[in-house]
Amino acid sequence: MENPEVAMVFEEIADLLEILGENPFRVRAYRNAARTIRELPEPVEQVARDPGRRLEDLPGIGKDLAEKIRVIVNTGDHPLRQELRQKVPPGLRDLLDIPGLGPKRAYALYKQLGITSREELKKAAQARRIRTLRGFGAKTEQAILEALEHLEEVSRRVYLAEAKVFADAVIQHLRAVPELHQIEVAGSFRRRKETVGDLDVLVTCDQSAPVMDRLAEYSAVRDVLVRGDTKMSVRLANGMQLDLRVVPEESYGAALQYFTGSQAHNIQLRRRAQEMGLKINEYGVFRGEERVAGRTEEEVYAAVGLPWIPPELREARGEIEWALEGKLPKLVELTQIRGDLHMHTNVTDGRASIEQMILACKELGYQYLAITDHSKRVTVAGGLDADALRAHWRNIDRIASRIAGITVLKGVELDILEDGSLDLPDDVLAEADWVVASIHYGQNQPRQQITRRILNAIENKYVHCIAHPTGRLIGKRKAYDVDLDLVLKAAADHGCFLEVNAQPSRLDLDDVALLAAREKGILIAINTDAHSIDELRFMEFGVYQARRGALEAKDVLNTRSVRELRKLLTQRRK
C-alpha cells in the first residue's frame, strides 16, 4: 500500500471518532499518525516489513498504532474503521471537509435536521433551515453555501504531492517489464498543476499485454475499468483514474505533447502549424500525408519553428510569444535552492527540535535556514511573546554555534493582527535576522481591511517577507478577499519579499500571481513552512509552483548565497 492509502485509514478513524465525541487526545493521536505516514519519504509498508526497522521509532507511533499499521498494510483496512462506520451515517464524514463545519456541528445537523450528505446540506441551506438552529445563523448558512460551491469546483482532484506518490510508484512498478521502452506521466500532472484529476501514462513497448498485466497487479489498483489493445483505464485506491496508453515509437513525442496539454496551449500550437501548412495531432506532425515529426517533443516543436517549451509553462500565457522571441525563461531548479526561510520547531507547533531542523537542512546541502516559530497571537500553536522569543533566539544561537557548515538565521512568523497592527513591537523585530509576517485570524474581513493589514506589514521595514499571502487552503478554503494588485505594487515599491509556501495544501502565491510578481521584479522566497523534518522535502512542490509562474533563479530570494542574502536583508531595513 502507498503511504496516502494507509494515512487515509487513520484520517477516517480520527474523523469518525471526533464525530462520535471520543477523547480528543485519542483523535489527535490518529491524526498525528496519519500526518507522519503521509510525510514519510519512503513507503511505510517497506518499514513495516523490514525486520531491521521499528515502526515505533517513527514520530508519534506507539506500540498500538504500529500494530494497526501492520494490519492495514497486510489487509488493506482495519477492523476499527469498519466498526466506527457502523455507528456513523456514510455521508456525514463528507461534511467535515466544509470550512466552518466541525464534527460537533456536523453531528448537530444530522441529529436535528437528518442531514447525512452534502446534497442534503445544500438543500437545507437553500431552504434557509440551517439558520434556525442554535449556534448557526444566517451568516453561517451563507458561508456553508459558498463553501459547498467551492468544493464542487475542486471535487475529484487531489493535491499534486499525493498524485506524485502514485505516479512515481506506478512508473517504478511498470519499469520492471522487459518489453517497456519509454514511460512518462503526462496531463496536468506533468504541467505540475497544484491539483490533479487523473493520471495519463504514456508508454512505448514491444508488446502491450505484459505492461497491462503488470499494471493490473499494482496493489493500489482497485478496479480495471477498460482494457483494449492500446489503452487501459483503472481506478486507484484514492479514487483517481489512471489511463495507460501504448503509442508507437514514431508518435511518442507527439502523443506526449498532445496529452500533456494544456488544451489552450495545444490550440495555439495547432493554429501555428496550420499557418505553416502543417497538421499536429497525437500521432505526429504532418505535411499532407507525410509525417515530418513526432518521435520526440523537441521534433514536434521544432517542426513549427519553436524551441522545446517546459511543460509547466504550457498554459497559453505568452509562452509561444516568448519562444518566438527567444525569451523563454530558464526556469528555477530545485538544485539551485540554497536555504529554507520558513519553518517551525517544537518550541511552538513543530515536531522537531532546533538542532534536528538545523541538521536536517545541513543534510539537504543547504547553506542556511531561518527558524521562524510563531509570535504570541497564535496561542493554539504556543506562540511566543517578546521575552520568550528573545530566550528562544539565544538558544538558537547557542545550538547553531555547535554546528559547523551552515548559517542559522533567527526569525519569527509574525502575526498581522485584526486591527492591522503587528504582534510584536519594532524593537523586538529589529533584533531578528529574518521576519515573515502572515495573517491567521480575521480572514473573513472586508477586502479593504484585509488589504490594509497586509500593506501595513509591507510598509514596516522590519518585515522582510509576507508568508502565504492569500491564505488559501486548496480545495478547503478560498483566498481571502484581498486586492492583490495593490499588495504586489506595495511589495515592489518597498522592496518587501513575497512567499511561495510549498505546503501542498497551500502553494500560495499561485502561478498567476507569481507571473505578475515576476513582471514587477519582486523577489520570491520559496519556503516549506515545515513543521517536521520530513516536511522540508516539500521544497520540491514550491519549486514546481515557481516554475509555473515562470520564475528563474534570479527571481528567487533563496537561490542567493549567504552573503548575497544578508546584503538584501540589510537593504530591506534601510
Residue 400 φ then ψ, to 5°: -60, -30
Dist. CA 536–CA 526, nearest whole Å? 11
CATH 3.20.20.140 domain range(s) in the chain: 334-573
Contacts of 120 (CB under 8 A, 6+ apart): 91, 113, 114
Indicate the CATH number of 334-573 among 3.20.20.140, 3.90.420.10, 3.40.50.300, 3.40.50.1360: 3.20.20.140
Q: What single-letter amino acid sits at 154? A: V
Length of the chain: 574
CATH of the domain spanning 3-154: 1.10.150.110
Q: Which has the closest alpha carbon to 528: 501, 507, 550?
A: 501
Task: For strands 407-415 and 434-438, give the pairing.
Answer: parallel
Three-state DSSP at 556 gives: strand
CA 342, 360, 189, 250 dihedral sign is: positive
Q: Distances in Å between the alpha carbon of 160 and those of 71, 148, 267, 336, 550?
A: 28, 22, 25, 21, 18
CATH number for the segment(s) 263-324 = 3.30.210.10
Distance CA 353, CA 460 (A): 30
The reply to whether the predicted model has a pTM over 0.75 is yes
Q: Which residues contact 423 (CB under 8 A, 6 or more apart)?
A: 375, 376, 377, 383, 414, 415, 416, 417
In whole angstroms, give the CA distance from residue 389 to residue 434: 13
All cell numbers assigned to 383: 506562540
Measure the CA angle with vertex 228, ends 223 and 233; round to 5°.
35
Q: CA nearest 340: which of 554, 542, 528, 531? A: 528
Question: What does each of the 574 residues of the chain score in pLDDT, given as a tens digit?
Answer: 788 889 989 998 998 998 888 888 899 899 999 989 988 888 899 899 888 888 998 888 999 999 999 999 999 899 999 999 888 887 787 787 777 677 788 888 888 898 888 889 999 999 999 998 888 888 888 888 888 876 665 556 899 999 999 999 999 999 999 999 999 999 999 999 999 999 999 999 999 999 999 999 998 899 999 999 999 999 998 888 999 999 999 999 999 999 999 999 999 999 999 999 999 999 999 999 999 999 999 999 999 999 999 999 999 999 999 999 999 999 999 999 999 999 999 999 999 999 999 999 999 999 999 999 999 999 888 899 999 999 999 999 999 999 999 999 999 999 999 999 999 999 999 999 999 999 999 999 999 999 999 999 999 999 999 999 999 999 888 899 999 999 999 999 999 999 999 999 999 999 999 999 999 999 999 999 999 999 999 999 999 999 999 999 999 999 999 999 999 999 998 8
Helices (H) and strands (E) in the chain, counts: 23, 17
Angle, CA of 524, 530 and 533, to the nearest 5°: 130
Q: Would you call 248 exposed, middle or buried from its count of C-beta atoms within 10 A (0-12, 13-18, 19+)?
A: middle
Q: DSSP string spanning 62-99? A: -HHHHHHHHHHHHHSS-HHHHHHHTTS-TTGGGGGGST
Residue ranges of the chain that CATH labels 3.30.210.10: 263-324
Distance CA 101, CA 98 (A): 6
Three cell numbers, residue 371: 527558524
Domain 158-246 grouped into CATH 3.30.460.10: yes
Neighbouring residues of 567: CB distance < 8 A, sequence distance ≥ 6: none
Grid coordinates belonging to 244: 495507460
Three-class HEC string of 276-320? CCCEEECCEEEECCEEEECCCHHHHHHHCCCCCCCHHHCCCCCHH
According to DSSP, the residues that pair with 435 across neighbouring strands are 412
What does the angle CA 42 – CA 48 – CA 52 come to, to the nearest 5 degrees? 90
How many other CB atoms sit within 10 Å of the CB of residue 572? Answer: 19
